[in-house]
Structure 1
Amino acid sequence: MNKVTFLALLSLIGIACSDLKSKVKISAKDNLLFDKAQENAIAANEGFIRCENFVQGWLNHSDPESGLIPRNLDGDTDIWNAKDAAADNYPFMVLTSFFVDQQLFDGKMLDMLRTEKQLTSRLNSLPDTYSFSKNDFENQELDMGSIIFGTSEYVKDGLLPLTEWLGESPWSERMIEMMYDLKNEVDVAGQVQRGGSGNSTQEEVNGELLQTLSRIYWMTGDAEFLNWAIKIGDHYLLGDHHPTRNLEYLRLRDHGCELISGLCELYVATSFAKPEKKEAYQKPLHEMLDRILEVGRNEDGFFYDAINPQTGQIVQERIADNWGYTLNGYYAIALLDGKPEYKDAIIKVFSNLNKYRNHDWENGSSDGYADAIESALNLYNRMPEAEVADWMDSEIKVMWGKQQDDGVIEGWHGDGNFARTSIMYNLWKSKGLYVKPWREDLLLGAEQKGDSLLISITAEKPWTGKLYFDTPRHKTNLKLPIDWARINQFPEWFTVVEDRKYQLVDFDKPQPTTYVGGQLSDGIAVDIEQGKKLVVY
């Protein structure tokens, strides 16, 4: 028999709040939860308004002919490129429009995807940098290393997070097409150079590929993707490129930590798909993780930017803003292999997190704050601690305070991460619920109580629309065997199962309404009168 989760719909129409609470005998504890849900609604509302302003601010600088946005607003204003504009900024303009402007989502955002595919695909579907003034590629010569790097960034940082939320879409089709074409060009990335910088990014590309392939394998069921990932895993864990035994430089922040997370994601994937390979990887993977804990952290448990894992020398002493990206891997391995010391590493950071309020993440950049807040959010979803919630509420305000009056954050491609993390934060505050059509005066927040959910919805003016519930997207969209902790995912909070029964209770009606999860995820009709509130639990 299907489990029934009880929710209740409480209408305040025509009834004062105090009279209503007395009438339906809401407990004092539930009153506090409803108040908290309303606080959450106010926070999420500010987040979505800021995201909407970010999108409009950047669209004001789009190229008049192509409609594409530039890489940056101060320098590199003439180009759209895969590794930055496409990977970091555009996807979170898409996701913002999904929540706040359906017409923009179906229109200009989709047009930009079609345009970038048409104008920037250079080697089959693989993209290259496009110049607005030239109406052509920026460089006449094809730089394979740049194309490989740009593609891996576009897929892992942009299209994969979009797919985690949207499921199958034109954006996921673009991602899969590029991955098949990329397979013909690279197996295990060698000395891939970032455009013009001269810094080797082979570990970053391989790490991004490991993360992408470990997820896309389950999504598509195509063993070609897993076999590709295993070749990369063998290169590092079974060959002479072991990250802590053989490498003299290991970057633990952005553009390096991807390898650590990627190897952990592959380990999880093989645990379910190829257990014999998981067994082969176990000892060298644990060796890598143990050595990083030994020499890669400060006294509060945060990772340094870079170390020499062989000597234990700290190469860059600044602490990494994306500390949680690496700890995601530790959490996943702790669950699989029963390694309590790996969860202890997370607990240590959590216990010291409030020392790092208003911290100078990545020289005070909005992007640094975004990565640090996302680091906390993803792990808090698995290990909820009150002090972590307080820290995130504090630090999101610091990040939001960096937005300019025109909606632009700092005027470079990292502005998209402001929206990515804000949306993650907003969904935490609503427990994954959202409404369509969205409006600036509409406030939606929620608090969970066991298997039940208490939801607050208010609006200044009458509103009619639909309330949507989240699903276990790791299953419905990616078909993952478990919801392992991973970079740039959108954590699941309160999710509904398609064929499970749920009850929606309206205290103004004599009987509850029964729904199945599929109806809730497809959206249920809600009407709000001016100045009234709906609370659902």
Structure 2
Amino acid sequence: MVLFVALSVFGLARAQNTDTPSGLERANRILNTWVSRKDTNTSLIVDEDDRWSVRTTAASLYPAMVLMAWLTNLGLYDGLLAETLKDERRLTTRLSVFPDDYHTKNASFSRSSRNEEEILINASAYANGLALVATHTGHGRWTDRLRGIVDALFLQASVETEYAEGPLPSSNLRVTGRIMKTLPLLADLFTDEGYLYYARRIADAYCVGVMPKNGGLPAERWDFEDDSAHASSLILEDSGVAFLEGLVELYAVEVRDGTARSAIYRPMLSAMFDVLLQHGLKDNGRFYRRLQPDSRGGYSIDRKRESPHTIRILLTTHRYGRLSGNETYVNAAQSALERYRPANNSEHITAFSSLLSAVTLAPPLKSLVEVVPNRPRNNVTDAEMLRALIAHHLHLTAGVRAHPWRPDLRLLSETDGKRLRVDLRTSEPWEGYLYLPLVGGRIKPFEIDPVERYRITSSLTRGRAAWDGGLLNSGLRARFNQALTLRIESIASGPVEAP
């Protein structure tokens, strides 16, 4: 329901979306522009100052480029961008496995001295970007890099607290917030309970220790030795919102497994969302950027600035409402979505870009090709545009990919969660592979389970074939002249026929 509301709010039904090729083509041009700006001596992607910046290029632009290549150019995905990862590890690692900003022209770090807190903040931002890749692509070299960073963060963790069974990697939410979001994902991808153990360390420290003393909110910085706030505000930028998302995803695991922690976390999660909805949400359906408890039961609000991640917060609120069985949060999220309107094209792109890192992928706001401007490129704005266009495309295709990609290839998919319809159109004959969304990572509208069987019907042959889900993992070969429609549905049992 919340997805339908978001769709109707932004005035675009799936059937009206005819800009998939041009949208993806525009995104592909952005990708190629940045590939051409590769450093001449390495495979690092550099900004206008010949710098590989961890917080912007590595954490934002580079993951978006990887996802774009995953959609349109597997040679680039497995080639240059894979080499970029190797060079990033070889050249920019400064503390343990954590990277620092690197100046390619000088072949040296941008800063002469090492700032450990800044390196940890940047490393967590990079981990968050790598998690974006992992949620869509699953296992691979980028997931391994993510795992290495997270493992190292907890290996060097030294922030002791009486509320958690083990030290935290930092007392700064700019680190723990982003890392919190990666942990349920890693636990799912690697079937490793250890990452849930790490997530519970953070959740216990904040739900039992910090939030009851901080007006129901996680603090930007907390002194666990003195058990008091160094900076009590919750800032609804990426790290703060990632903490909310990660906490709700951990709560989803506890509810699924029926653990005692679900009952422990629920009161503080409810208190947190109550504060956000009552004090942080504006009449126009947007959230203020900063909320600060005033120690008297009230909150000081920065009313001049709004959070760029309102959609993510509302989707997380809705998800918590469904998990907890409390329709108050579901209704509040839907009501706010009905009121929300992007103020301008720039805000439209920022809002849409944020959807790619949301726990669930929401429908598009409107035709992004209409609002993505031809403007001077930099690593920040182009990362946002890439993320926005990718989110748009993934919604229209339900996560289905076609390789080789061509600008004339039009791909649209529809699903009710049980059945998937894939429509392909081209101006010239096409032959290649269709890759269907697989189990794991982010929540998908339809996904192929390797242990199930699927019936596939083709518009070309009118025939049906049953496929094992494990076989579909390696792609479905297709060939057609101008049009092809496939219908895919799960079947409970039956022999696997030759495709």
TM-score, normalised relative to structure 2: 0.82
- Deviation (angstroms), 1:307: 2.2
Shift of 1:347: 0.9
Q: Distance in 1 between matches of 2:460 and 2:55?
A: 54
Residue 64, structure 1, aligned to residue 40, structure 2: yes
Following the alignment from structure 1 to structure 2, what is the Cα–Cα distance between the partners of residues 59 and 300? 40
Question: Which residue number corresponds to residue 142 of structure 2?
Answer: 171
Deviation string 1:238-273 (CA, Å, 9 cap, x unpaired) is: 114545347542222434333333332333334446
Structure-2 change in CA distance of 1:258 and 1:524 (3 Å): closer
- Give CA-to-partner distance per residue, 1:42-88, whole Å, 9 cap, x none: 42212221221111111222221122122x43xxx132132221110
SS in 1 for 2:303: strand
The answer for the alignment partner of 2:236 in structure 1 is: 252
Match of 2:39, SS state, is: coil
Aligned equivalents of 1:236 and 1:508: distance in 2? 57
Structure 1 residues 414 and 189 mapped into 2: Cα distance closer, same or farther (>3 Å)? farther
CA contact (8 A) 2:353 2:385 kept: no
Partner of 1:7: none
Q: Is the 8 A contact 1:128 1:137 kept in 2?
A: yes
Rounded to whole Å, the distance in 2 between the matches of 1:173 and 1:375 is 19
Matching of residue 81 in structure 1 with residue 53 in structure 2: yes
**What's the counterpart of residue 263 of structure 1?**
247
Would the aligned equivalents of 1:83 and 1:154 in 2 still touch at CA under 8 Å? yes
Give the secondary structure class of the aligned counterpart of 2:19: helix
Q: CA distance change for structure 1 residues 38 and 518 in 2, over 3 Å: closer, same or farther?
A: farther
Gaps (5+ residues) in structure 1?
A: 1-35, 191-199, 381-388, 475-488
1:427 aligned residue (394, 398, 423): 394
Deviations 1:12-66 (A, max 9, x none): xxxxxxxxxxxxxxxxxxxxxxxx97864x4221222122111111122222112
> Which residue, out of 160, 182, 185, partners 1:215?
185
The one-letter amino acid paired with 1:206 is T
Aligned to 1:226: 196
In the TM superposition, residue 95 of structure 1 has moved relative to its aligned partner by 1.3
Aligned length: 450
CA 1:131–1:315: 2 relative to 1, 3 Å: same
For 2:311, which of 298, 315, 324 is the aligned residue? Answer: 324
Other structure's SS at 2:365 match: helix
Is 409-418 or 503-512 further displaced after alignment?
A: 503-512
Q: Is the 8 A contact 1:370 1:399 kept in 2?
A: no
The 1:374/1:120 distance shift into structure 2, 3 A limit, reads: closer
Tell me, yes or no, if structure 1 residue 110 matches structure 2 residue 85: no
Equivalent AA in structure 1 for residue 134 of structure 2 = T
Residue 237 in structure 1 maps to residue 207 in structure 2: yes
Structure 2 residue 107 is matched with structure 1 residue 135: yes
Q: What residue number does 1:162 align with?
A: 133
Question: For structure 1, which segment, 108-117 or 315-324, has the greater mean C-alpha deviation from structure 2 after superposition?
Answer: 315-324
SS of 1:327's partner is helix
> Which residue in 1 is equivalent to 2:123?
151
Tell me if 1:437 matches 2:404: yes
> Is the aligned partner of 1:504 residue 2:456?
yes
Q: Note if contact 1:498-1:517 (Cα within 8 Å) is conserved in structure 2.
A: yes
Match of 1:186 among 141, 145, 157: 157
Q: CA deviation at 1:118?
A: 0.4
Distance 1:510 1:88 in 2: 44
Between stretches 104-113 and 409-418, larger displacement belongs to 409-418
2-structure distance, mates of 1:299, 1:262: 27
Q: Find the aligned partners of 2:51 and 2:171 in 1 and give their Cα distance.
A: 22
The ranges of structure 1 where at least 4 consecutive aligned residues each deviate by more than 6 angstroms after the TM superposition are none
CA contact (8 A) 2:352 2:391 kept: no
Normalised TM-score (structure 1): 0.76
8 Å CA contact retained: 2:319, 2:330: no
With over 3 angstroms needed to count, the CA separation of the structure-2 counterparts of 1:449 and 1:493, relative to structure 1, is closer
Question: In the superposition, relative to structure 1, how do residues 159 and 450 fare at CA in structure 2: closer, same or farther (>3 Å)?
Answer: closer
Change (3 A) 1:470 1:259: closer
1:96 aligned to 2:68?
yes
Confirm or deny that 1:416 pairs with 2:383: yes
Q: Quick one: structure 1 residues 415 and 186, their matched pair in 2 at CA, closer, same or farther if it must change by over 3 Å?
A: farther
CA distance in 1, matches of 2:415, 2:249: 29
SS across alignment from 2:21: helix
- State whether structure 2 residue 483 is matched by structure 1 residue 533: yes
Query: What residue number does 2:446 align with?
Result: 494
Partner of 2:225: none
The answer on whether the counterparts of 1:87 and 1:159 sit within 8 Å (CA) in structure 2 is: yes
Alignment of 1:8-27 (within 5 A): none
Q: C-alpha offsets along residues 334-367 of structure 1, whole Å, 9 cap, x if unaligned?
A: 12221111101211122223xx25x147xx3676
1:448 corresponds, among 391, 415, 420, to 415
CA drift of 1:318 comes to: 3.3
Seen in structure 2, the aligned counterparts of structure 1 residues 122 and 367 have a Cα distance that, compared at 3 Å, is: farther
Q: Deviations over 1:190-238 (max 9, x none)?
A: 9xxxxxxxxx992222211211123223333444433332232233221
Report whether the alignment pairs 1:290 with 2:274. Answer: yes
How far, CA to CA, are the matches of 1:315 and 1:428 in structure 2? 34
Give the whole-Å Cα distance in 2 for the aligned partners of 1:298 and 1:322: 14
Structure 1 413/223 Cα, relative in aligned 2: closer, same or farther at 3 Å?
same
State the secondary structure of the residue aligned to 1:286.
Answer: helix
**Could you list the per-position Cα deviations for residues 402-427 of structure 1 after superposition, in whole angstroms to 9, with x for gaps in the alignment?**
244xxxx6413342232223212112
- Which of 44, 57, 72 is the equivalent residue of 2:20? 44
Corresponding residue for residue 283 of structure 2 = 299
